[in-house]
Amino acid sequence: MSSRFQRITPFLWFNDEAEEAAHFYVSLFEHSRVLSIARYDKSTAKAANRPEGTAMTVAFELDGQHFTALNGGPVFTFNPSISLVVNCHTQEEVDHFWNALSQDGDPSAQQCGWLKDRYGLSWQIVPVQLMELLGSGDPAKAQRVMQAVLSMKKLDLTALESAAA
């Protein structure tokens, strides 16, 4: 975990699952932890129409990246226009994150390495080798790799490398 100042922190709006989601995400990534939880007290709970003692905001860290989650109610929901990319070095990492994050998620939102988790948040689970294969300078190779990506839900590194060959 870096002592470097993080200027930009993603702020995630949940209906009422912020604490649960933060603990779930922290359980999946190494070097991760819940940093703090601010709870609705008597005055804020009434104003926000939330039960007293429930989490208002949860500050957490995933592999050194800080996030804040808010239980803000059903006013806003996630959509795929914003996603979190998980860069993976091996197929085992791709499998681990894909399987964990897609469990109880939206199977219809799974394509090209993208998935929607059980909380509605979109993720891209990507082997780092994909950018190398697409950016090799060989347009025919890049086209074959992209066609392979478009045919997949979870990305398969071996199949991508075969398409490039």
Q: Is 87 found in the same domain as 67?
A: no
Q: What percent of the chain has pLDDT over 70?
A: 98
pLDDT confidence tier of residue 136, bands split at 50, 70 and 90:
confident
Res 1 pLDDT > 70: no
- Can you tell me whether residue 115 is helix, strand or coil? strand
Compute the distance between CA of residue 80 and CA of residue 116 in angstroms, rounded to an integer. Answer: 8
146 assigned to some structural domain:
yes
- What's residue 2's pLDDT? 54
Q: What percent of the chain has pLDDT over 90?
A: 85
- What's residue 89's pLDDT? 96
33 assigned to some structural domain:
yes
Compute the distance between CA of residue 94 and CA of residue 123 in angstroms, rounded to an integer. Answer: 12
Structural domain range at position 120: 83-164
CA angle 70, 72, 74 (to 5 degrees): 130
DSSP code for 52:
T
Which tens digits make up the pLDDT trace of 29-53?
Answer: 999 999 999 999 998 888 888 999 9
4 assigned to some structural domain:
no
pTM of the entire structure? Answer: 0.91
Q: Give Cα 29 to chain centroid, integer Å.
A: 11
Q: Is 47 found in the same domain as 118?
A: no
Which tens digits make up the pLDDT trace of 91-119?
Answer: 999 999 999 999 999 988 999 999 999 99
Angle between helices 91-102 and 18-28 (to 10 degrees): 160
Final residue in a domain of this structure, among 71, 95, 112: 71
Q: Is 90 found in the same domain as 66?
A: no
1 assigned to some structural domain:
no
Task: Give me the number of domains the chain comprises.
Answer: 2
Q: Is 109 found in the same domain as 67?
A: no
125 assigned to some structural domain:
yes
Compute the distance between CA of residue 43 and CA of residue 132 in angstroms, rounded to an integer. Answer: 53
User: If you average pLDDT over every residue of the chain, what do you get?
Assistant: 94
